[in-house]
Amino acid sequence: MKKKKELKAGEIVQIWDSGGPFECFKTPFNGHGQVGYLVQTLGNTGMKSSEGWTSSSGSIWEVICFGQDPPVKHKVHESWLNPIDKFSDIKKVEDE
């Protein structure tokens, strides 16, 4: 069994919301499939941040993605973040 993710600011991640805590949504999160850098945690488990971000399980992270001009920042639950160690870790988004 894989250990729980230990994320830290500066890491490269891919946002991948399928299989996350909100599977009931029919359309993926607008950052789905994007690769970016972790900027900072915005809310830890059970704690509210100054912006009001909170989660009952896991942390909320700010992720900056550079695929658009200007770069876009997303607020993402840690369960939707996949660390990228090598190019082959990046999942391909299938067009619907």
Question: Could you read off the pLDDT of 15-70 as tens digits, one per residue?
Answer: 987 654 455 555 567 788 999 999 998 877 666 666 665 666 778 889 999 988 89
Cβ atoms of 17 and 3 within 8 Å: the answer is no
Which pLDDT does position 60 carry in this prediction?
84
Domain residue ranges of the chain, discontinuous segments joined by + = 12-87
Complete DSSP assignment for 63-83:
EEE-SSSS-EEEEEEGGGEEE
Residue 13 structure tokens: 């991640």
Euclidean distance between CA atoms 10 and 78, whole angstroms: 14
Euclidean distance between CA atoms 13 and 66, whole angstroms: 12
